[in-house]
Amino acid sequence: MNLRFIDWIWHVRDSLALPAGQSSEDAFDRLDPLFRQTGTTYQRTNDTLTFRKKDQPAQDKMSVFDVGALRIDKTAAGSVLRYDLSSRALLFCFLASPLFFGIGQMTVLISQFEKPKPQVEKKQADIPMNPIDKFLGAPEPDHSKKDKTDGDKKLSPKAAYIFSGIFAVLYVVGRILEDRLMKARFEKTLAEWSH
Amino acid sequence: MDGQRVGNRLIGTQAPVIVGWENIPKVEGGPMKQFVFTWFQPVMLFALIAFWYYAPNSIAKASTAVMIGIGFKLLLLALEWVNPRYASWRLTWKELVTDLFYVGLGFTLLRIVSHYIGSDAVAKAIQDYFHRDPFPWFIGLPLLLQGFLIAFIFDFGQYWMHRGMHNWYPLWLPHSVHHYITQLNVNKGAVGNPVELFLIGLGIGGFFDFLPRAALIAGAFGLAIGTYQHINVRFNSPRWWRFLFNTTEHHSLHHSQDFESTRSNYAGAFIFIDRLFGTCIDGEAELLGLEGGRRMSIREQMSHPFTEGWKALKARFDRPVAVSAE
């Protein structure tokens, strides 16, 4: 299977034009601090930079990405930075949604094997309310209902489905946000260049 | 690093830590901000207790508690943006995804496991075996006392479980993963190996018979005190609060990169338990985590206790047998 049809899920690819007159070396010099981070190793050639990150700190500006390549192409209109960044975090977030959906389904399956527990009737009516609570005006314990403490603790898939939805939303947000943040950071870093 | 002497311990020899309340930074800003971030914690605690004490029976139920818990966490998330303690603890998208994955596990898989072999299930099985009822006298106590005792007994158990985790290698293995967190955010309490999250959730509440309302009051103690262990908000907590209750300051020290500091402040909500047993240190740390603050991936967090345990077993049993030189 050609992964390129689906690898947009965890790859961020884009390009941006370098400021006029900026050489490949100048551009990579500007970007250099982004890769001088704990857990990051990188290699530079004339027009390509490849990096790899392991256990990157939370505040690393590129912590979402684990592997990537940046290449500078010279075109008639000027130089262009093209990059391809790969993120395990994006893939994980994408997969977390079906994972929690699966946990929800599993919960339904397990609860089908649960024997219905008998409703336990506890006589709470003969328990006097403490005089201090009476004095302070706390509501009387509800004696009319059965105490369902043993009978109502059924397994429910609801939480799993909610988390499945949360991760689906988080994925969409992250895929758009991290893409834009990275591009803005590259643009800002390169634009700070002066002749 | 020289470190500072606290009792008979030398704190901060491996990484910078702040010792003593007078040295901890204060909330910066105008009088309104100072007021809000001084009184927020006590007001929320007393408001929650009063709510559960007086709420009509129709709304004093677990589902309301879950909604209040979520709402409170969202409010604290907003406060993290308004008044962060440290910029280096700022929540990022990746940290949020990681944290919520563990929160999700807590609400789903761990709940299924606890349903069958959790402390309540075990307590019920033991009671059934001995044909004993839970302690019924407990239910006649004043509600607030019931609520406090439930929270205190759970926290007292958790103190010793947590202290055991830091002192006995088989228990340290699952707990060590939680100490690889490098910042404190509102959901970081959920981050850790699932085996540890199961162990830390064990209590002896199942042996007591208590009014449902008392359990909700106990939950308010946990929510309005215990939550501040892992949070990135700067508060000027009142003196009496930080004497009685666990704070971010205490818990950041417990998570610091300095080994000796991590062996302090074990309680979840009531720091006076640490004071009673001589394990409390009042202070704060910004640099957190093991191995100099190495951030562990989720994959490693899942496998770490088992791979390290296996290595330890191999090292123990693969020792070369001494052979006589004859």
Minimal Cα distance from A110: which residue of B?
Answer: B112
Question: Which of A40, A103, A117, A146 would you mutate first to test chain B, the one with the most B CBs within 10 A?
Answer: A103
Q: B41 near B237, Cβ under 8 Å?
A: yes
Q: Is there a contact between A163 and B97 if contact means CB atoms under 8 Å apart? A: no
Minimal Cα distance from B185: which residue of A?
Answer: A58
Helix (H) or strand (E) holding B305: helix B298-317
Q: How far apart are CA B121 and CA B138, in angstroms?
A: 20
Pairing state of beta strands B4-6 and A78-86?
unpaired
Nearest by Cα to A44 from A57, A28, A30, A55: A28
Q: Is there a contact between A170 and B88 if contact means CB atoms under 8 Å apart? A: no
Nearest by Cα to A135 from B242, B143, B269: B143
Residue A187 tokens read as 């643009």
Q: How far apart are CA A102 and CA A96, in angstroms?
A: 10
pLDDT at A88: 96
**CA distances from residue B15 to A10, B118, B169, B281, B293 in whole angstroms, order as listed:** 36, 38, 23, 16, 10
Give B240 to chain A, closest Cα distance, Å.
25
State the residue for tokens 């702040």: B18
| Percent of the residues in chain A that have a pLDDT greater than 90, as a whole number | 64
Residue A169 tokens read as 């939303």
**Out of A55, A88, A177, whose CB is closest to B296?**
A55
Q: Is there a contact between B101 and A96 if contact means CB atoms under 8 Å apart? A: yes
**Pick the residue with more confidence: B91 or A192?**
B91
Question: What is the average pLDDT across A33-42?
Answer: 93
The CATH T-level fold of domain A3-90+176-189 is Alpha-D-Glucose-1,6-Bisphosphate; Chain A, domain 4 (3.30.530)
In B166-193, which residue ranges form alpha helices assigned H by DSSP?
Answer: 169-176
Contacts of A2 (CB under 8 A, 6+ apart): none
- Geometric angle at alpha carbon B293, from A43 and B308, rounded to 5°: 95
pLDDT 10s digit of each residue in chain B, 326 long? 788 999 889 999 999 999 999 999 999 999 999 999 999 999 999 999 999 999 999 999 888 999 999 999 999 999 999 999 999 999 999 999 999 999 999 999 988 888 887 766 776 777 677 666 666 778 888 999 999 999 999 899 899 999 999 999 999 999 999 999 999 999 999 999 988 888 877 766 666 667 788 889 999 999 999 999 999 999 999 999 999 999 999 999 999 999 999 999 999 999 999 999 999 999 999 999 999 999 999 999 999 999 999 999 999 888 766 666 65
**CA distances from residue A39 to A76, B11, B295 in whole angstroms, order as listed:** 37, 28, 9
- Through-space distance between the first and last CA atoms of chain B, rounded to whole angstroms: 50
Q: Is there a contact between B107 and A166 if contact means CB atoms under 8 Å apart? A: no
User: Residue ranges of the domains in chain B?
Assistant: 4-19+31-317
Q: Is the pLDDT of residue A149 over 50?
A: no
Nearest by Cα to B146 from B211, B205, B202: B211
Nearest by Cα to B74 from B98, B52, B55, B91: B91
Q: How many CB atoms lie within 10 A of CB B172?
A: 16
Residue A160 tokens read as 């799993």
Q: Is there a contact between B183 and A159 if contact means CB atoms under 8 Å apart? A: no
pLDDT at A22: 87
Pairing state of beta strands A78-86 and A11-17?
antiparallel
**CA distances from residue B69 to B25, B61, B134, B223 in whole angstroms, order as listed:** 29, 13, 28, 7
Q: How far apart are CA B234 and CA B29, in angstroms?
A: 11
Give B9 to chain A, closest Cα distance, Å.
30
pLDDT at A151: 44
Q: Which residues of A touch B (CB under 8 A)?
A: 39, 55-59, 63-64, 88-89, 92-93, 96, 100, 103-104, 107, 110, 127-128, 130, 132-133, 136-139, 141-142, 149-150, 153, 155, 159-160, 163, 166-167, 170, 173-174, 177-178
Q: Is the pLDDT of residue A54 over 50?
A: yes
Buried b / exposed e over A88-102, threshold 16 CB at 10 Å, is: bbbbbbbebbebbbe
Nearest by Cα to B41 from B84, B75, B2, B7: B75
User: Residue ranges of the domains in chain A?
Assistant: 3-90+176-189, 92-166
CB contacts of B293 in chain A (<8 Å) are 57
Q: DSSP string spanning B267-280?
A: -SSBTHHHHHHT--
Contacts of A34 (CB under 8 A, 6+ apart): A61, A62, A185, A189
Q: Is there a contact between B104 and A141 if contact means CB atoms under 8 Å apart? A: no
pLDDT at A126: 62
State the residue for tokens 């202290």: B163
**Out of A127, A141, A174, whose CB is closest to B97?**
A174
Give B139 to chain A, closest Cα distance, Å.
8
